[in-house]
Structure 1
Amino acid sequence: MKKVSSKMIISLLTLTAVFAFTFFIFSPDEAAAAWKKAGITPSGDLKDSGIYTDLDNIIYFIMAIGGFWVIACLIFAGMRLSAAQGNPQARTQGFIGLAMSALGLFIIVKAYDIAGWVAGFGD
């Protein structure tokens, strides 16, 4: 079991005190007034906030990174397969690598549908 240091306990208590102090000092009305003073006017509607556009861009970015990863996996599995030279275990590793990269590509392609399905819970 990991021993908890006194330094960690003190930092946790300090953060808890600061967090609790902000609730006692600032009321929600004052926070709303500060937001209005800063020019931030939340409408309460998520569709107007632009969060769906941001999440859409994040999904495209993750899909792009995943696409490059699949290409790298295909190259690596192809190298394993071509270097097998009659070794059945190495050949099996190459074929499994190709199959897993194909499975990864399918998951990446379906990531957008999965994200849309999860986003539909709020409607």
Structure 2
Amino acid sequence: MKNKIKFSNMVLVAGCSLIALFYPTIAFAESKKEAYAYMNTILGVSVTIAGFLVIFAIIKSGMKLATAQDNPQNRTAGLVGLGFAFLGGYMVFKALDIAGWLHGFFGL
């Protein structure tokens, strides 16, 4: 449990550092178009990192499922892990579309 908390904290810090890295350029952008260009860069980097994490989760869950043999708890954990990995992968895949919808609906 402690390892999961440490990993989630690392991901949170990495995401915040990406925003902090690009914040001055977004805050002092001369136009909305330039600010959107910076935000698209941040989103692209985040999607790339998340894509690699999804691949890692699929491999890890697949290995757990493959090595489960007669242990029903490990088999269930592997199947649930694969399900959530694919769900997370779909969310990462649709992240750019969701950002586009927010921009279209609210002008964010």
TM tier, smaller: 0.5 to 0.7
Give secondary structure in 1 for the equivalent of 2:94: helix
Larger Rg: 1
**Rounded Cα–Cα distance in structure 2 between residues aligned with 1:89 and 1:107:** 27
AA in 1 matched with 2:32: L
Greater fraction helix: 2
> Aligned partners of 2:107 and 2:54: how far apart in 1?
32
Asked whether 1:110 is paired with 2:91, we answer no
4+ residue runs over 2 A deviation: none
Q: Counterpart of 1:122?
A: 107
Mark the runs of 5 or more structure 2 residues left unpaired by the alignment.
1-27
Q: Normalization by structure 2: what TM-score?
A: 0.67
Shift of 1:83: 1.5
Partner of 1:77: 61
d(CA) in 1 for partners of 2:63 and 2:78? 8
**Superposition map of 1:1-123 within 5 A:** 42=30, 45-47=31-33, 50-120=34-104, 121-122=106-107
The TM-score, its normalising length taken from structure 1, stands at: 0.59
